[in-house]
Amino acid sequence: MTATVEAPSGDTRPARRAPRHPVKRRTAARRHVTPWMMLAPGIVLFTLFMAAPILYTFVLSFQKELVSGLGLGSGSRTRTFAGLENYVATFTDPEFLASVGRVLVYGLILVPTMLGLALLFALLLDARRTGAKGFSRVSIFLPYAVPAVISSLLWGFLYLPAVSPFYWIFEQLGWDDVPSLLSPGLVVFAIANIGLWGGVGFNMIVMYTSLKAVPTEIYEAARIDGASERQIALRIKVPIIMPALIMTALFSMIATLQVFAEPTTLRPLTNSLSTTWSPLMYVYRDAFTRDDIYSAAATSVIIAVATFAISFLFLRVVQRRAFGQED
């Protein structure tokens, strides 16, 4: 309680409060400072390794380097403002546009197939008659724990006809004309298969976790009403876990736009993959092969903005459909 100081007798002035105890003031200040002290390491790390590089990349994308003198080795280099020159060069480069087209085809193959298989496995694991659920869940999820470079090497050697056991089996069956998945027309399916092998398990776990959070009374009520297991899965389970489906779809699209490890690892095994097969490989070539970090920065900004725009439009479309169904 806060003590009050009474006015002397005969004094008509109102009684004034005694000053708050210093210990209480320090306690109140500590309550305000402690959360910021706990957040400070995260804020510092985010600023140094996320916000600052993003800002620096954005600044570099509007600059270019001029070389004056006898040559590239002995001439002087001057950094100057380039305006939108780097962005225009990227948008008008046929190699960049071709890489975007290849990634779009890759995403159209990978994302629906991966999410469909993940949903199927999640529904099967959540079914009442499914046995060995723990072993099945770990087996499906295990490929996700394998790094992308390792899985790409593994599948890359399985794609090579000279060392692959699959092609040896094909030869024994008399199927000598089976084309290699590393050929120019099929290499996109080879890369999509690697992403499918590693991504189904993660998305399945997300959907299966959402299914386990649904009260079992809903399923029991549906069974009492005569609904079959298939009807329960399609009309009850899938609509209930729709937020998880939307989240996994969004993450899958973002990962598709950033595909890099798989084609880069497979490139030494085939001539079907160029150094600019994907947009991120295009950025890597400009930054580390051509030593043009300014063009690479502009392309990185374009990819980031495109990723944000696609994610935003996807969420807007889903939101509008959800509100339309509610209305």
29-71 pLDDT, tens per residue?
Answer: 777 788 888 889 999 999 999 999 999 999 999 998 887 765 5
Distance CA(297)–CA(64), nearest Å, equals: 11
Q: 305 falls in which pLDDT band (50, 70, 90)?
A: very high
Give the mean pLDDT of 281-289: 93
Q: 324 falls in which pLDDT band (50, 70, 90)?
A: low
Distance CA(18)–CA(117), nearest Å, equals: 71
DSSP-derived secondary structure for 80-94: EE-TTHHHHHHHT-H
Answer whether 0.95 is exceeded by the pTM.
no
Closest C-alpha to 56, from 304, 284, 297: 297
Cα 187 → chain centroid: 22
Q: 275 falls in which pLDDT band (50, 70, 90)?
A: very high
Quickly tell me which residue has 């069974």 as its tokens. 223
Bridge partner residues of 77 (DSSP): 67
How many C-beta neighbours within 10 Å does residue 223 have? 14
Bridge partner residues of 173 (DSSP): none
pLDDT higher than threshold 50 for residue 309:
yes
Distance CA(71)–CA(74), nearest Å, equals: 6
Identity at 326, one-letter amino acid code: E
Q: 325 falls in which pLDDT band (50, 70, 90)?
A: low
pLDDT digits (tens, 9 = 90+) for 177-232: 888 888 888 999 999 999 999 999 999 999 999 998 888 888 888 888 888 888 88
Which superfamily does CATH assign the domain made up of 93-326 to? Answer: MetI-like (1.10.3720.10)
Domain boundaries, the chain: 93-326
Closest C-alpha to 193, from 162, 239, 155, 235: 155
Quickly tell me which residue has 């008399």 as its tokens. 174
Which pLDDT value is given to residue 179?
A: 87
Which pLDDT value is given to residue 77?
A: 78
Distance CA(40)–CA(43), nearest Å, equals: 5
Q: 1 falls in which pLDDT band (50, 70, 90)?
A: very low
Give the mean pLDDT of 83-112: 94
For the chain, report the end-to-end CA distance as a whole number of angstroms.
55
Among 73-82, 127-136, 278-287, 317-326, the least confident range: 317-326
217 close to 224: Cβ distance less than 8 angstroms: no
Q: 78 falls in which pLDDT band (50, 70, 90)?
A: confident
Encoding tokens for residue 15? 């009684």
Give the mean pLDDT of 160-187: 87
pLDDT higher than threshold 60 for residue 73:
no
Distance CA(178)–CA(320), nearest Å, equals: 46
Encoding tokens for residue 202? 């993660």
174 close to 287: Cβ distance less than 8 angstroms: no
For β-strands 76-81 and 63-68, DSSP reports them as: antiparallel
pLDDT digits (tens, 9 = 90+) for 235-244: 889 999 998 9
Bridge partner residues of 78 (DSSP): 66
pLDDT digits (tens, 9 = 90+) for 9-20: 555 555 555 555
Specify which of 155-159, 168-172, 213-217 reaches the highest per-range mean pLDDT: 155-159
pLDDT higher than threshold 50 for residue 161:
yes
Q: List CB contacts of 251: < 8 A, sequence separation 6 or more.
A: none
Q: Which residue has the higher pLDDT, 267 or 216?
A: 267
Q: 25 falls in which pLDDT band (50, 70, 90)?
A: low
Give the mean pLDDT of 141-160: 92
